Amino acid sequence: MIESVSRRAFSSSSGTYNVRASELARERKLNIFNVTIVLLDDTQHSFQIEKKAKGSVLLELVFQHLELIEKDYFGLQFTENGSPPNATNTEITRWLDSGKSVKKQVGVNAQFWLAVRFYPPEPCRLAEEFTRYLLCLQLRKLLLDGRMSAPKNTALLLASFTVQAEIGDYNATEHQPNYLSELCLIPKQSAEDERRIRELHKLHKGQSPADAEANFLEHAKRLDCYGVESHPAKDYHGKDIFIGVTSIGIVVFQNSTRVNTFSWSKIVKISFKKKQFFIQLKREPSESYDTVLGFNMRSGRAAKALWRCSVERHGFFRLRAPRRRHLLESFGAFAGVAAPTVARTETQALEDARRSRSSNRSFVRRSSSRTRERSAGASPALCVNSARGARVTAHDEPPPRAAWGDAARDIEDSDGGFLERALRVPFPFVDESESESAPEQAEDETEGVEGAVFVHLSAGPDGRFGFNVRGGGNGVPVLVSRVAPRTRVHLQEGDQVISINGKDVDEMTHEQVVQMIRNTKGVLTLLVKPNAVYEPETGPEEPAVCFVPLEPVEQLEGDPLEQSMLLLGDGLASGAALKQYETLLRRLSEECSSVAKLQQNINKNRYRDIAPYDSTRVILKNSPTGDYINASYINMDIPNSDLVLTYIATQGPLASTVGDFWQMVWECESSLVVMLTVLAERGRAKCHQYWPKVGTTPLKATNTLTVLTNSEQNLGHYVRREMSLKESSSGASRNVTQLQYTAWPDHGVPEDSTAFINFTKLCSQLRNHRAVIPTVVEELAAEEERVLEPPMIVHCSAGVGRTGALILAETALELLARRQPLYPLDLVRTMRTQRPMCIQNASQYKFVCESIQAAYSQGVSTIEKPTN
């Protein structure tokens, strides 16, 4: 045994070998494997990670490679068989879990696809232009492969914005008639489609790539399937449906039509057990039980996937901060599966983006459209260098033809101009030059306002400044709600406006703020507090576009009715019509419903937030339970005639209000009751059966009123009943017809618009035209009384949604028959001044507008009244 060796012995002809270090290096090499990521522009990139690395490590590598700031909206997808995600393999498509090992989720040969995981409900609130570009790429992929559907007109409009972003302005010398034939822009693309896209492309002259993408997103976000992650399921009748999860809640689709929406505010709990997925809804005041809806999924794994998806989206969009997992939950101390959590919420992501105020860097745009001839591995056909690098060629082109009309029809310049205004949705853009000198009082005004800055904007050619505001009045702060892309240098969504041109806005209403901005000539000076918290429900917002002409109809060329229908068609195609609808006030703030809130009347309301105005409510004269009923008079004047369509819009009777309902029918002398609901939908009572069955004893509604059903006919989509209403004290009786429309689902729309229009015509024909004067409010009694017909009584469940739809449809048919111009938005506004929330959601409004269009295209003659 050698106890000691001199160092000098190893100083020559010697060497060393580190055995352990070499083995560790070999182990490290074996523990690293390659991961391939397919990006949204179809380019691929490989990353090296350790085999034990979690998903968060890979995600961070991808985001760093892309220099992606708003990364919370994105994730990595993979499929169980390694095929690209598409419309046919959604059941085997998974999201990479950031908290679990990558290798355990996908194995060694890993391939992922970058995708948008959380779709922002308002894309304009994204701070980065690059983020909006990636969102556009994702939506284009979904539209092309069928995972996302859109009406034909909307799909063509979106395709035209894609062409503008990738090619630039239309130039007849550079773009041959078939210049779109090599691009795949929509599924099953035809020559006629390319012609219509080309006509729309001409309208986008001057839009930069960022502007065109902003317009693309403004229209895409209005699609029913925008941001929906669908899961196949079956309802309790065994029908095939799709359950989707969005930022607003859980939606149900059947045959590509949204039939139901459950908002997060109405959902109490979501759960799953084996193959079933459950939604527990908030109890209504009139209900004595909780409503739990169950859906049958294809497997237990599918039910769990839908549950996880719902939890994650609720956490991201509805919470201000991620839910903190209970300590014992992480150790499995609780029964069941631990609920997933998100790293950050949308609120946190938006606040970070506002604080960063990051500059939009230059990046390379690649064509997302597949040419029909090149292979998947070929280089992109189009490439745009820099953030605004699309060619914008100066040229003088003749005005384009209308995209939706006949190709041979000559359209005046004003029509093309209107379409250009309607299709440029976000805003007219501004000159971003600041004034050279700030006002002298600037320093004084900023005192006491922490972090406030001055912003100086010059108006564009049309006199607008490129931003919208929300709020104002009653102490509500005035916030910047939308900003044109080129104005984001100065303003951001969520900034609070302190003063305008030196005048404080604290005491101004929303209308006064908007008017002051519009009246400003030259430079607009704003005192702004950056990074204010954006609350989306702080008040009305200035409409982004106006599809109703500002000038009188008489000044428009051609037939006024035809002009109004063209405007309606363009508004529906571009999304402007629904955007205008969303800006309407749901109820008049100055009106009140104090009588409905009295203690003795609260239980007479089916829903606590739907009650009649005091000024238009129906007042009962001889009801033993009081004069209140949840019903409103609605009168719709037909211009240039003496006709007034009279209605009573009411809720579906409760068991305790059946007597009040029939007392109202008797006192108003109506002979027609229209019912637009079934008695129960999805396990929830929508209306009490307030009539007796045929062949049974009469129903004693009150001490003096009895109801007898004489006959009942089921005519497919509706049921007709003939009844007799008898008053015992006087011995008088009256025949009453009830029409029950059974083809309108709750929170959805009918499948057949023609059947609905025919039903509406029948209702109009059965009106009783005996002249009577309806009950009037005492304050209005001094005014000149007008002889009106007995009102048609219309009800659904709440008496506002489907009820308002029928009133709008009949009024529109009368206007069509009399060749009067038709503007549905104005009609809805008129209805809501008489009963709040008429036509409850955008899908109902869209359905009625499309039904009116169909009736107009088929030709409508004057509605004939029955002779008997």
Instruction: Point out the residues that are catalytic.
Output: 796
Written as one string, the DSSP assignment of 336-397 is: SPPPP--SS-HHHHHHHHHHH--------EE--SEESSS-TTSPPS-EE-STT-S-------
Q: What are phi and psi of 281, to 5 degrees?
A: -100, 155
395's tokens: 């040229």
Question: Is 629 buried (19+), middle (13-18) or exposed (0-12) by CB count in 10 A?
Answer: buried
Three-state secondary structure readout of 805-824:
HHHHHHHHHHHHHCCCCCCH
Length in residues, the chain: 868
The two tokens of residue 259 are 């039939």
Query: Which of helix, strand or coil describes residue 295?
Result: strand
Q: How many CB atoms lie within 10 A of CB 420?
A: 16
The three-state secondary structure class of 779 is: helix
Whole-number Å distance between alpha carbons of 687 and 655: 9
Beta-bridge partner residues of 57: none
For the packed helices 842-858 and 753-765, what is the interaxial angle rounded to 10 degrees?
Answer: 80
What tokens does 490 get? 């100065």
638 within 8 A of 830, measured Cβ to Cβ: no
Determine the angle formed by the axes of helices 191-202 and 152-167, rounding to 10 degrees. 60
Half-sphere exposure of 90 (CA within 13 A, CB side): 20
User: What is the token pair recorded at 131?
Assistant: 């983020």
Torsion 654-660-662-665 (CA) sign: negative
In whole angstroms, what is the distance from residue 210 CA to residue 8 CA?
73
Neighbours of 502 (CB within 10 A): 12
453-458 vs 523-529, strand pairing mode? antiparallel
| CA angle, residues 675, 676, 678, in degrees to nearest 5 | 90
SS3 95: strand
User: CB-based contacts of 375: which residues, under 8 Å, 6+ apart?
Assistant: none
Do 234 and 295 form a contact (C-beta atoms < 8 A)?
Answer: yes
CB contact at 8 A, 734 and 772: no
Show the tokens assigned to 669.
Answer: 């002398």
Vertex 260 angle, CA 254 and 262, to 5°:
135
Task: Give the E-state strand segments of 512-621 in sequence order.
Answer: 523-529, 617-619
Half-sphere exposure of 212 (CA within 13 A, CB side): 31
Spatial separation of the C-alpha atoms in residues 128 and 451, rounded to whole Å:
23
Residue 222 dihedral angles phi and psi, to the nearest 5°: -90, -5
What is the residue type of 706?
T
DSSP labels, 641-707: SS-EEEEEEEPPPPTTSHHHHHHHHHHTT--EEEE-S-SEETTEE-----SPPTTSPPEE-SSSEEE
DSSP string, 589-620: SS---TGGGSTTTGGG-SSTT----TTTEEE-
Evaluate whether 522 touches 465 at the Cβ level (below 8 Å): no
Spatial distance between the Cα atoms of 634 and 650, rounded to a whole number of angstroms: 10
Q: Are 113 and 85 in contact (CB under 8 A)?
A: yes
